[in-house]
Structure 1
């Protein structure tokens, strides 16, 4: 998937008013996810993503430990959104990531996250990650 397609998919699914908002939301989610993942996994996940998108994972300070509520709160702060919107935006971005990366990459991501993160993957078409 190319950058414009990725951003357009996030904008459309999250019902955002502009591409700029879609990019801000994507950056918020992927930066926060990159912080939660181990450095090698953040890089692996970034590999198949468009270059303009993968940088959010590469620049994250990986290896941090925080729970799902903290994850959503970080996304909310970065995206300038409330908690409920941030949780939805995170699901949307991960749904688009799911369509972009090989299945094994997202399985590796879910293997690193504790059970409390299940809501993050709620929009995915399959439940094979749980």
Structure 2
């Protein structure tokens, strides 16, 4: 998947502009990298389009932080500049597009490090 395809899919799924999709994609991927192990984040980074790789790569190796879906959405919203259009649907759109980009097995490996509520929001529209 190319960068343009990734952003177009997020834009379509979230019902927002291309520019908004770029902002939320980076914010969600950066938050995901903070939430999962560094090795898993690196694995995902190697499979996404190059312009998105820095969002998944952590410059400092720290243990993954533990927080649930609500805190995930809040952290990503702040990273995106706290826009009013940033919603749970936007997070879902990025995660579903990430699954398309990296493949089911790699995505499931990352999802296994997240609380069950993440799988539930993805199952609703999968």
TM range (shorter): 0.7 to 0.9
Moved more, 35-44 or 106-115: 106-115
Report what 1:15 is aligned to: 15
Give 1:27 shift. 0.7
Report what 1:25 is aligned to: 24
Stretches of structure 2 lacking an aligned partner (at least 5 in a row): none
| 3-state SS of 1:48 partner | coil
> Higher RCO, 1 or 2 (CA under 8 Å, sep at least 6)?
2
Provide the C-alpha distance between the structure 2 equivalents of 1:30 and 1:71, rounded to a whole number of angstroms. 11
Instruction: After superposition, give the CA deviation of every residue in 1:74-120 in whole Å (9 maximum; x if it has no partner).
Output: 122223235x8421111000111111112110110111112233344
Provide the C-alpha distance between the structure 2 equivalents of 1:119 and 1:69, rounded to a whole number of angstroms. 13
Q: Please say if residues 38 and 58 of structure 2, whose CA atoms lie closer than 8 Å, have aligned partners that are also in contact.
A: no
| 3-state SS of 1:112 partner | coil
Q: Please say if residues 9 and 96 of structure 1, whose CA atoms lie closer than 8 Å, have aligned partners that are also in contact.
A: yes
User: Given the two structures, how large is their TM-score scaled by the length of structure 2?
Assistant: 0.85
Stretches of structure 1 lacking an aligned partner (at least 5 in a row): 126-130
Give 1:123 shift. 5.4
Report what 2:69 is aligned to: 68
Q: Which runs of 4+ in 1 moved over 3 A?
A: 59-62
Report what 1:6 is aligned to: 6
Report what 1:97 is aligned to: 98
Instruction: After superposition, give the CA deviation of every residue in 1:4-47 in whole Å (9 maximum; x if it has no partner).
Output: 11111111221213x22111000111001110001000111111
Moved more, 24-33 or 59-68: 59-68
CA RMSD of aligned residues (A): 2.1
